Every structure is written in C-alpha cells, then in structure tokens.
Amino acid sequence: MAEVRIRGVRKSFGNVEVIHGVDVDISDGEFVVLVGPSGCGKSTLLRMIAGLERITDGEVMIGGRVVNQMPPKERDVAMVFQNYALYPHMKVYDNMAFSMKLRGAEKSEVDQRVQKAADILGLTPFLERYPRQLSGGQRQRVAMGRAIVRDPQVFLFDEPLSNLDAKLRVQMRTEIKELHQRLKTTSVYVTHDQIEAMTMADRIVVMHDGIVEQAGEPLDLYDNPTNTFVAGFIGSPAMNFVRGTVRANGGPARLEAKDGVALPLGDGWSGQDGRSVVYGIRPEHLVLAEAGQRSVESEIAVVEPTGAETLLVSRVAGGEFQAVFRERHAFRPGTRVQLAPLLDKVHLFDAETGQRL
Amino acid sequence: MTTSPGHPATGPATGVARDDSEGMDYLMSLPRRTVTVYLPLLCFLIVLLFPFYWMGLTSVKPNEELIDRSLNPWWVVDPTIAHYFHLIVNTDYPLWMWNTMVVAVSATLLSIVASVMAAYAIVRIRYSGSRWVGGMIFMAYLVPPSILFIPLALVVFQYGLFDSPMALILTYPTILIPFSTWLLMGYFKSIPYELEECALIDGASRWQILTRIVLPLSVPGIISAGIFAFTLCWNEFIYALVFISSSENKTVPVAVLSELVEGDIYHWGPLMAGALLGSVPVCIVYSFFVEHYVSSMTGAVKE
Ligand SMILES: Nc1ncnc2c1ncn2[C@@H]1O[C@H](COP(=O)(O)OP(=O)(O)OP(=O)(O)O)[C@@H](O)[C@H]1O
Ligand SMILES: [Mg+2]
C-alpha cells in the first residue's frame, strides 16, 4: 500500500496536449474515483500511473518514489481493464497465477494466494475453466482476482463495470467497495458514470478536457460544486440552470431571466445587484409553492413516475426545469404549476467564468 | 480459439446439432440440395481430383498399356507396381525425397521464426516507419521469383553454396518471409492490445509477452503460415532447377523431370509414380492441420 502523488502532469500525443497539468494527491488506502465525460483524459491519466503511457511533463510518485521512468512491472500496480483482458488460452487459475509465476514465486505460495483470492471472490468452482466459459460477471471477478493475487501497492480500474448489465453493475459496485474495505489497498477508479463515482468513492476527482475541475468528498462536491461544470455533472437528474441578472432593487432579491420571468433569491445575494449569473437549483430542492411563498410559474411538459418518486419536467423561461417529488401529486401535462426553490439551496455562478459566487 | 485440447463443443453436440439445422430447413429437400450443394461440389471434385486420378492411373499402368492406343485410356486392365519399384530401387528417389524434406522443413522453420519476429515488431513495437517497413515487405512479395533467380544465382555462387541444399534453404525464405510476415501481421493485429498491456503490468518482458501470450494465441496463424511455406518449398521449381546440378542433391519436382525424362523419351510410369509419391507428404501435412488452417483464415482471436 502506498500513497500516489500526481504533480503537474501533462500529456501530449504528438502536438496535441490532452492533459494540461493535473495535480491529485491520493493518500494511503484511499479509494479515489476519476470521473468525467468521454474523452476528458481519465484513461490517459490512469495509464500514466500504470506506466503504459509516457508522461510528457510533471511527476507521478507512488509510495514516495518518482516512477516517471519506471517500467510498469517495477511500479507494483495492478490494473483491471474495461474488457477484462483475460488471457484466453489460460485457465482461470493460470490467469490469476500468471504474474506470480513470472516473478518466480514458490508453487505452494502461488497456490495459496490464488486459492485465497478465489475464495474472496467466490471463484473457486471456476478455477479450471477457460475465460470463454464464464459469464461477464464471472470474467469481471477473475480480472479482479488477478489483481488481488498480486497484493500490489495500488489498484487501478478503468471502467471495469461498463460491460455489465445494469443490475450486475450495481451488485459488482457493492462488491468492489466491500473488497476495498477489506483489503484497504489504495485504489484509483475511472468511470464516466457519476452515480458509480458518488457511491464508491472516498474522494472524487472530476475531470473535464484534460484538467481537474474539482476534487473532494462525494457529498461535498454535491453540496458545494465550484463551477457550473461540476454542478451539472454531479447529481442525477442534473441541476437546473437559468441564465439571468440579479436584481435587488424595488423588492426582494431575485433573478431576472428571459421573458420577464423572475426566480426568487435569498437576501444574502442583494450585494450582487446587476450581475450576470447562472442560477442553479437541484431538482429535489424545488417544492410546490404554498400560498404566499415566492415561486416561479411553469408549464408541465412531461411527468415520469418511477414509483419511489416522480420526475416532473416543466418549462421555465424558455428552458427546462426538472423537479423530483417523493410525494404523489396529480400532475397533468399542459397545466401550470407553481415551483418554489429552497432559497438556501440556490447556487449562483458567474455567467462568464462559470465559477461559483 | 481452438488451441486447447478440451474443446467444449463435444459435450451436448447432438441436441445442438438438431437445433442448428432447424433454421436451415429450406435446404433440406433433396432435389433442392442436389442442385445447390451436391452438383457444384461434384463439379469441383472432378476438376480438382482428375489430375490425381490420371497420375495414379498412369503410375500403375504397365508400359504396354501406356503405348497401346486401342485400349480405354481411362482405365487400367492389368495394374502393376513395377514403376514404383523401379523408382525406389533403380533411381535416387528416396534421396530426392529426403533432400526435399530437409530443404522444405529447414526453410519453413527459418522463415517462420524470422516472420514471427518481423511481424511482431512491425505490429506492436512503436518505432518510426514501422508501417512503411510493413508495406515494403509486402511489396517484396510481389516481385516474382522468376526475376529474382538471376541475381540470387550470383549471390549463391559467390558464397560457394552452389549445388548444396543450403542454396535452397537460404533462398526460399526470400519468397516465404514476405507472405508469412504479412499473414502473421494480420493475425497479431487481431490480438487485443490490452492483453499485452496487462501482461506488461503483470511483469512480463517483451520476450515473455511474445512467447507466453502472443504465440500461444497465434498458433492457427503460425500453422497456416507454416503450411503455406512448406507447400511452396516442396513444389518450388525454378530455384531448385538453377541452383542444384548433381542428381543426389536434387529435390523431387526437379529430379522427377530431369532424371526420368531422357532426351525426348518420357518414362511416364515412373514419372507419375514419382509425382504421386511426392504429393503425399503435403497431403499429410494438410490433413493434420486443416482445422487450424481454416480457423485462422476465417476468424481471429476470440476472448
Ligand atoms: N494514442 C492516442 N493518440 C492520440 N490521441 C489519443 C490517444 N489516446 C487518447 N487520445 C486522446 O486523448 C483524449 C483523452 O482520451 P482518454 O482515453 O483518456 O479519454 P477518457 O476520459 O478515458 O474517455 P472515455 O470515457 O471515453 O474512455 C481523447 O481526446 C483522445 O482522443
Ligand atoms: Mg477511457
């Protein structure tokens, strides 16, 4: 086990720079999730930690050693690939034993470690099978088993669950988390699925276009996103955004948006009078307005009940507002409804920079 | 992958076979099948097998029957093995066979080893110009041997290899390596990159990746390249004719022609017997590996 430090790391493919200076500190035993939209450079960053991709600039340290020039095998990391990358011509046992055999470990030791890993993952009945004779979930487990057997300093996962169906994904999510709680090995996990990130991570690193937008604990990111990108990326359904101008004269503070629509703001924002901003409110922070409460009128477009909750999509100021209700209401598309934002849950972002105010 | 001995398809084969055939029912009516399947197959078989039939027939015909025009040329009345006997006892035929075998096996091994390394380097090691090298190797394949044999003859002479098996063992790879490399390149490309990266992280060196991951997965490709090379060596004519002069060093295709034809007298019986015997080893090689051969031509590595 070891901590991983990424200092000012850049990566160029030819003349194109895809990672523009990333700093991440991962402490010993931590489970960090790199999350971001497709093409933002998560895999590239992970592969640089693994040693599969040369580091153009900056430093990667594992357990206090700078590993920039080290080949993968000296870094003592294990990686789980998206398509599992099991060796098709080897049985499960040999797949798991391969790395130990390469290092010339004793046969009895190899056997003991493989059996132990197989036991943890429930793979014992499959040890004599070939990968093609396993289901997707079992292959996934073998891929993890192969990593566990080595007892490395760091686990690296590159979207290991994205080839599984939705139900199995949820189950494996829990399993990986349990495994981490048991082994306490430093882990870096890449995904583009923010729910996976929220549920599994000790700490989330949100990436976008080759930079880190924000890093922090899941709920901290959820409650205090530093910019519109993180605010929109974390959370599902996503945060609602409205562009407009803050007005505090002649009445309580409010946001004036297109078509003369006004959204209520807390009094704390009066100092921002006249400023162009993006107004953000999460769907679960919109409630049905009671008499006299400051609210915004919207027209219901779609109602999506899921049983536990109901998603309401309505039109406000030329855009869409999503709201989530746990209670059941008789909504009908085409009718109007008064939505009241919880004033202390409203986020304001600068319209130019997208930074939180 | 078909490299493993425990092929899984042997278990519930009967049930599966019945299921499979159901969707193909429309092919099942006999008249229809005759027209769509058996008739074309029959035509192919006749065209392909007729030379063998003719070879076999001629090789067992006594000399009198061969010359007698009044008899049915498609049949033999009084078969004999005299030609085979003559071939094996009175000529150097066993020696020619041995020469051919030595040359074909050595040249094939040499070419496959070289091709594996070349193909792997071109496909998987990043260096500038790797694609260019790959293209050039394929271009080399397009140069016909009938043009190359004159410059090659000079080289062979200067190295003092003329009239020795080495002359052939070292020149055949010039034809074999380009094609085998090209074939193996395609095969190596079909092996997922991640497998090798995973092995790299697992602690394997380049050489270990090649021998423990890539080669086991490319067995069908290597076998096809090997069969191709072996067949080509076995049948090769021009180089063998030009680079070898003494009878005891000749290979079967050349020897049969040059030693069994005297002036304008064709000893048809021994000639055909020699040709038939000469094609036996290739047939054996094919029948052993045909399954691999086909699988490597039709499918890549599946995980
Ligand atoms: N070998 C390469 N050569 C050139 N560009 C590359 C190479 N590998 C990745 N890139 C580019 O680097 C950027 C980041 O790629 P990367 O694979 O890290 O994205 P990602 O965040 O993992 O996306 P995804 O979620 O789709 O896997 C992309 O724009 C991609 O086009
Ligand atoms: Mg990726």
**DSSP secondary structure code for residue A133 in this structure:** G
pLDDT of B11 above 70 = no
pLDDT range class, residue B32, cuts 50, 70, 90: confident
pLDDT digits (tens, 9 = 90+) for A149-187: 988 999 999 999 988 888 889 999 999 999 999 999 999
Place of tokens 């899941």: A218
Q: Which atom of ligand 1 is nearest to the CA of A14?
A: 4
DSSP-based three-state secondary structure for B56: helix
CB A53 within 8 A of CB A241: no
* Residues whose CB falls within 8 Å of the CB of residue A109, separated by 6 or more in sequence, listed in order: A100
Place of tokens 């869409």: A320
Closest CB to A86 among B208, B216, B303? B303
DSSP-based three-state secondary structure for A96: helix
Q: Which CATH superfamily is domain A4-233 in?
A: P-loop containing nucleotide triphosphate hydrolases (3.40.50.300)
CA dist A239 and A242 (Å) reads: 10
CA dist B237 and B231 (Å) reads: 12
DSSP β-ladder status, A154-158 and A57-62: unpaired
First to last CA, chain B: 8
From the CA of B297, how many Å to the nearest CA of chain A?
Answer: 19
Question: What per-residue confidence (pLDDT) applies to A312?
Answer: 93
List, in sequence order, every beta strand (DSSP E) within chain B.
Answer: 261-262, 265-266
* Residues whose CB falls within 8 Å of the CB of residue A260, separated by 6 or more in sequence, listed in order: none
CA dist A262 and A259 (Å) reads: 9
Q: Which of B194, B198, B303 to mutate to test the interface with A (most CBs of A within 10 A)?
A: B198
pLDDT of B279 above 60 = yes
Question: What per-residue confidence (pLDDT) applies to B13?
Answer: 38
CA A303 to chain centre: 27
User: Where in the sequence of chain B do the CATH 1.10.3720.10 domains occur?
Assistant: 87-302
Please indicate whether residue A208, judged by its CB atom, sits closer than 6 Å to ligand 1.
no
Question: What per-residue confidence (pLDDT) applies to B302?
Answer: 45
3-state secondary structure A235-289: CCCCCEEEEEEEECCCCCCEEECHHHCEEECCHHHHHHCCCEEEEEECHHHEEEC
User: C-alpha angle B264/B75/B59, rounded to 5°?
Assistant: 45
From the CA of B215, how many Å to the nearest CA of chain A?
Answer: 10
Closest by CA position to B106, among listed B288, B254, B233: B233
Q: What would you measure as the largest C-alpha separation in chain B, in angstroms?
A: 78
Question: What per-residue confidence (pLDDT) applies to A267?
Answer: 84
Question: What per-residue confidence (pLDDT) applies to A249?
Answer: 82
CB A4 within 8 A of CB A187: no
The pTM of the full predicted model, rounded to 2 decimals, is 0.82
One-letter amino acid of B186: G
* A contacts of B195 (beta carbons < 8 Å): 85, 87
**DSSP secondary structure code for residue B10 in this structure:** G
pLDDT of B6 above 70 = no
What DSSP string describes A4-72? Answer: EEEEEEEEEETTEEEEEEEEEEE-TT-EEEEE-STTSSHHHHHHHHHTSS--SEEEEEETTEE-TT--H
Q: What is the dihedral of CA A58, A63, A64, A70, to 10 degrees?
A: -50
Is the pLDDT higher at A219 or at B26? A219
pLDDT digits (tens, 9 = 90+) for B100-157: 999 999 999 999 999 999 999 999 887 788 888 888 888 888 888 888 888 999 999 9
Asked if A70 is an interface residue toward chain B (Cβ–Cβ < 8 A), one would say no
Q: Where are the domains of chain A?
A: 4-233, 240-350
**Which CATH architecture does the domain made up of B87-302 adopt?**
Orthogonal Bundle (1.10)
* Residues whose CB falls within 8 Å of the CB of residue B1, separated by 6 or more in sequence, listed in order: A88, A89, A132, B217, B301, B302
pLDDT of B26 above 70 = no
Question: What per-residue confidence (pLDDT) applies to B303?
Answer: 41
Write out chain A's pLDDT in tens, 357 residues: 689 999 999 999 999 999 999 999 999 999 999 999 999 999 999 999 999 999 999 999 999 999 999 999 899 999 999 888 999 999 999 999 999 999 988 999 999 999 999 999 999 999 999 998 999 889 999 999 999 998 899 999 999 998 888 888 999 999 999 999 999 999 999 999 999 999 999 999 999 999 999 999 999 999 999 999 999 999 989 999 999 999 988 788 889 888 888 899 988 888 888 899 999 999 999 999 988 888 898 999 999 998 899 999 999 878 889 999 998 888 899 899 999 999 999 999 999 999 998
DSSP β-ladder status, B261-262 and A77-80: unpaired
pLDDT range class, residue B17, cuts 50, 70, 90: very low
Q: What would you measure as the largest C-alpha separation in chain A, in angstroms?
A: 82
pLDDT digits (tens, 9 = 90+) for A133-158: 999 889 999 999 999 998 899 999 99
Asked if A88 is an interface residue toward chain B (Cβ–Cβ < 8 A), one would say yes
Question: What per-residue confidence (pLDDT) applies to B15?
Answer: 39
Please indicate whether residue A191, judged by its CB atom, sits closer than 6 Å to ligand 1.
no
Asked if A87 is an interface residue toward chain B (Cβ–Cβ < 8 A), one would say yes
Backbone phi, then psi, for B94, in 5-degree steps? -55, -35
Closest by CA position to A131, among listed B194, B206, B208, B189: B194
CB B176 within 8 A of CB B116: no
CB B236 within 8 A of CB B172: yes
pLDDT range class, residue B293, cuts 50, 70, 90: low
Q: Which strand (E) or helix (H) includes residue A116?
A: helix A107-121
From the CA of A85, how many Å to the nearest CA of chain B?
Answer: 5
DSSP β-ladder status, A286-288 and A319-325: unpaired
Closest by CA position to A186, among listed A6, A29, A14: A29
Question: What per-residue confidence (pLDDT) applies to B289?
Answer: 81
Please indicate whether residue A44, judged by its CB atom, sits closer than 6 Å to ligand 1.
yes
Q: Which CATH superfamily is domain A240-350 in?
A: Nucleic acid-binding proteins (2.40.50.140)
Inspect the interface and report whether the beta carbons of A81 and B213 lie closer than 8 Å.
Answer: no
Please indicate whether residue A13, judged by its CB atom, sits closer than 6 Å to ligand 1.
yes
Nearest CA to ligand 1 atom 19: A39
CB A314 within 8 A of CB A324: no
Inspect the interface and report whether the beta carbons of A84 and B303 lie closer than 8 Å.
Answer: yes
Q: Which atom of ligand 1 is nearest to the CA of A42?
A: 21
pLDDT digits (tens, 9 = 90+) for B221-269: 898 899 989 999 999 999 999 999 998 999 999 998 888 888 888 888 8
pLDDT digits (tens, 9 = 90+) for B45-70: 999 999 999 999 999 999 888 888 88
Inspect the interface and report whether the beta carbons of A88 and B201 lie closer than 8 Å.
Answer: no
pLDDT of B19 above 50 = no
pLDDT digits (tens, 9 = 90+) for B171-223: 999 989 998 999 899 889 888 888 999 999 999 999 999 999 999 988 888 98
